[in-house]
Amino acid sequence: MTGVYEGKRGLVLGVANKRSIAWAIAKRLADAGAELAFTYQGERIEKSVRDLAGSVSSPLVTECDVRSDEDVARVFREVGAAFDGGLDLLVHSVAFAAAEDLEGRFTDTPRDRFWMALDVSAYSLVSCARAAEPLMDARGGGSIVTMTYLGGERAVPHYNVMGVAKATLNASMRYLAWDLGQKNIRINAISAGPVRTLSARSIAGFPTMEAIVEERSPLHRHIDADDVGAAAAYLLSDDARNVTGTTLYVDSGYHAMGM
Ligand code: 0WE
């Protein structure tokens, strides 16, 4: 096997099954030679993540509850041990809001679930970047990619508290870019259009969103996880060595429209 990530080591957070955006990214990296560690959230998806990780000869699969600083610290200790104290690539594809807060009125979001959504979906990028910093510094730099959505910039009906979480994630990405640039660590976001994943399937009105993208986007088609994988592969590669603090839209151009 040979490829642009030969000798590169990465950590991927957010794989649930083969349809996951995180998996599409991981597959691209692994096919081009990267060695990848994976985290999963909860016993329900452990087997599915272990099977996928096994298919790309992953040296490490470990649980990570991103709400816990101790858990994040343990995971990055394990990553350091598996990868000789170095890390080149980090894929953050993690988000969660209570299902009941992704319908109805944003106005009704209770305080505890507001902070929970921001904790899992936005602060997790900060804590993971902080933990990755010394490992990437040991390699002379690194590259981080996170997943965002237009609902963090504009009001998308029902996206609600996730939109507030993505706005926080977007700003966090830019402030991290400034801090980590000093260590030659880049960080960027991909703003994907709606993709049919496990997360998406439980969302009422998802087919309607796909239909709207097909009707109104310049390219009149919806996107898939592999499109996101290709964009992430670029941002994580040396071709993007002078790209940091930005958002790459993979949405058939939907974001460019005003109507
Ligand atoms: O960021 C997302 C969805 C993330 C997500 C999905 C779920 C479903 C299951 C976060 N938390 C949960 N919690 C659950 O219990 N997207 C960009 C996809 C998405 O979700 C929407 C969208 C779009 C697009 C929700 C409402 C409206 C549009």
For 202, the domain range is: 9-252
Report CA-CA distances (Å) from 240 to 142, 188, 236, 245, 257.
11, 10, 7, 12, 26
Considering the domain boundaries, does residue 3 fall inside one?
A: no
Which tens digits make up the pLDDT trace of 175-199?
999 999 999 999 999 999 999 998 8
Distance between terminal CA atoms of the chain?
A: 46
| Sequence-distant (≥ 6) Cβ neighbours of residue 113 within 8 angstroms | 97, 98, 101, 161
Considering the domain boundaries, does residue 120 fall inside one?
A: yes
Can you give the pLDDT at residue 153?
98
The catalytically annotated residue of 159, 175, 234, 254 is 159
Considering the domain boundaries, does residue 257 fall inside one?
A: no
Number of folded domains that form the chain: 1
Can you give the pLDDT at residue 97?
98
Considering the domain boundaries, does residue 75 fall inside one?
A: yes
Is the CB–ligand 1 distance for residue 188 below 6 Å? no
Which tens digits make up the pLDDT trace of 57-81?
999 999 999 999 999 999 999 999 9
Cα–ligand 1 centroid distance for 2 (angstroms): 36
Which tens digits make up the pLDDT trace of 219-234?
999 999 999 999 999 9
Can you give the pLDDT at residue 137?
98
Question: What number is the average pLDDT over the span 17-42?
Answer: 98
Question: What number is the average pLDDT over the span 134-163?
Answer: 98
Active site residue 149: yes
Can you give the pLDDT at residue 63?
98
Is the CB–ligand 1 distance for residue 149 below 6 Å? yes
Active site residue 5: no
State which ligand 1 atom lies nearest to the alpha carbon of 121.
Answer: 10
pLDDT over 90 for what percent of the chain?
A: 95
Q: What is the pTM of this model?
A: 0.98
Which tens digits make up the pLDDT trace of 113-133?
999 999 999 999 999 999 999
Alpha helix ranges (H) inside the chain: 21-31, 46-55, 69-82, 111-118, 124-137, 160-181, 198-201, 206-216, 225-235
Cα–ligand 1 centroid distance for 219 (angstroms): 23
The enclosing domain of 187 has a CATH number of 3.40.50.720
Considering the domain boundaries, does residue 259 fall inside one?
A: no
Considering the domain boundaries, does residue 89 fall inside one?
A: yes
Considering the domain boundaries, does residue 192 fall inside one?
A: yes
Is the CB–ligand 1 distance for residue 55 below 6 Å? no
What is the Cα–Cα distance from 10 to 189, expressed in whole angstroms?
17
Question: Lowest-pLDDT range, 38-42, 98-102, 201-205?
Answer: 201-205
What phi and psi values does residue 145 have, to the nearest 5 degrees? -125, 135
pLDDT over 70 for what percent of the chain?
A: 99
Considering the domain boundaries, does residue 2 fall inside one?
A: no
Name the 3-class secondary structure at 46: helix
For residue 152, pLDDT beyond 90: yes
pLDDT tier at 160 (50, 70, 90 boundaries)?
very high
Cα–ligand 1 centroid distance for 163 (angstroms): 10
